[in-house]
Amino acid sequence: MRLRIPSLFALFALLAFLLSSCSNPQKDYQPIQQLQVTYKQAILNTSNDSLKVTYCDTVIAALQRFIGSHPKGQWNTTANDALTAWRTKRDSL
């Protein structure tokens, strides 16, 4: 019985490590969502066009990195939609 408990513990620890290290697109997208909210508000609060463009470029770069890391799935679609919106916003400035 003593040999089985350490083996089970090691197996559980390995499984926990693997599950926590797997990429989670929804979790990975949360900081980008927050960035978008923050910069949308910042754009509304400034009249400096070059600063607005910088904010857009920052969000666009973050979305492009996300899309590169998560090339498929619902969150990729969400990121692509957001990317289109931010590019449109940047082009309108």
pLDDT digits (tens, 9 = 90+) for 47-91: 999 999 999 999 999 999 999 999 999 999 999 999 999 999 999
Tokens encoding 79: 């990121």
* Virtual torsion, Cα 52, 85, 25, 64, nearest 10 deg: -60
d(CA 38, CA 32): 10
* Predicted model pTM: 0.77
pLDDT at 18: 47
CA distances from residue 65 to 13, 17, 29, 41 in whole angstroms, order as listed: 31, 25, 11, 22
Q: What value does the mean pLDDT of the chain take?
A: 86
pLDDT at 11: 54
d(CA 20, CA 16): 6
Do the beta carbons of residue 56 and residue 89 sit within 8 Å? yes
